[in-house]
Amino acid sequence: MLSPLLTAAGFGLWTFLPGYWAFVAGFVLWGIATAISSGTAEALVYEELARLDAAGAYPRITGRAEAVGTTAMMIASAIAAPALAWGGYQAVGVASMATLVAAALVARTLPETREERDEDDGYLDVLRSGLREVRGSKTLGRRLLLVSAVTGLSAFDEYLPLLAQGTGVGDAWVPPLMVLVSAGFAAGGFLAGRGLRWTGPITCAGGLLLIAGAATRSPWGFVLVAAAFGVIQWAITAADTRLQHGLSDRSRATVTSMSGLGTEVMAVLTFAFYGFGSAVAPSWVLFAVLAVPYTLIGAFQGRRAE
């Protein structure tokens, strides 16, 4: 509940107190909100489902939540332009803050079963427990790296507009192509939890679809790109599910936060690769190269089931 309220406060600073320090303070609040929520949402959902003997529903629920979130972003993007024309940045800022407050109220209604903890279970004790759990299991370490890689690499979706422009379409056609990819993301979320036994081959196919779609260098290739990002969203949920299945409740939030840190590191590396690579290669080549890890990850999983 606290995380969206802090984010709303950050939006308020950006919207109503323009200036350098307001901008910095807003980012600090946003960072704190991200830090305190990292790993906790996944842990809460999984543990509550486990207590209901419904842990198997975790990928389906989280996948659908991501799909609904993607759909909401599509709707928000569609109404942002008329809202901006009507009330300017303040109208958009107020709407963003109201949405986050509503999210906080919804979060307050989520059930949470609190267990008795030892009095000595402080922050450092829980952190050490999570680190020991990861170090003591090679399988868990691989799953942690897998989540970080599959999720962090997907950060290159930020450059999809450049890939669209590289197909030769006018600027007016870029947003519809982005909507198509967003629809692929949503479809992948709604299908999450199905066919998990085929995670390796499906992830590999997603990488190949992205390579083919990018190499087409045509707007029609975005049909393959959208399908690929749907697979990527599906694979992210599958990897997270495998990680959650291997964790104990005591360290679940801590280890999930570690995967979030790994994801951010991988995303920064992805941005750096694209930034430096854009000086020597067109977007379709960079997308094809970034799709190769998904193909290799899928092939590796296909040979090694855990």
Q: What is the CATH number of the domain that holds 229?
A: 1.20.1250.20
| pLDDT on residue 137 | 72
Cα atoms found within 13 Å of the Cα of residue 41, Cβ hemisphere only: 21
Most confident range, picked from 10-24, 137-151, 201-215, 239-253: 201-215
Residue 225 lies in a domain: yes
Crossing angle of helices 221-245 and 40-51, in 10° steps, is 60
Residue 246 lies in a domain: yes
Residue 38 lies in a domain: no
Residue 62 lies in a domain: no
Q: How far, in Å, CA of 43 to CA of 244, rounded?
A: 8
| pLDDT on residue 304 | 46
Least confident of 8-17, 30-39, 120-129: 120-129
C-alpha distances in Å from residue 1, one per residue of 100, 142, 206: 10, 32, 35
Comparing CA positions, the residue from 166, 8, 24 lying closest to residue 174 is 166
Comparing CA positions, the residue from 284, 298, 33 lying closest to residue 156 is 284
Residue 306 — pLDDT band, cuts 50, 70, 90? very low
* The two structure tokens encoding residue 301: 């999983």
- Residue predicted with more confidence, 125 or 47: 47
Q: Is residue 159 a contact partner of residue 174, using CB atoms and an 8 Å limit?
A: no
Residue 19 lies in a domain: no
Q: How far, in Å, CA of 270 to CA of 286, rounded?
A: 10
Per-residue pLDDT tens over the stretch 63-72? 888 888 888 8
Residue 241 lies in a domain: yes
- Residue predicted with more confidence, 30 or 156: 156
Residue 17 lies in a domain: no
- Residues sharing a CB contact under 8 Å with residue 110, sequence separation 6 or more, in sequence order: 44, 48
Residue 303, pLDDT > 60, answer no
Q: How many domains does the chain have?
A: 1
- Dihedral sign of CA atoms 248, 251, 253, 257 in order: negative
Residue 19 — pLDDT band, cuts 50, 70, 90? confident
Residue 81 — pLDDT band, cuts 50, 70, 90? confident
Residue 85 lies in a domain: no
Q: What pTM was computed for the model?
A: 0.81
Domain span including residue 146: 123-303
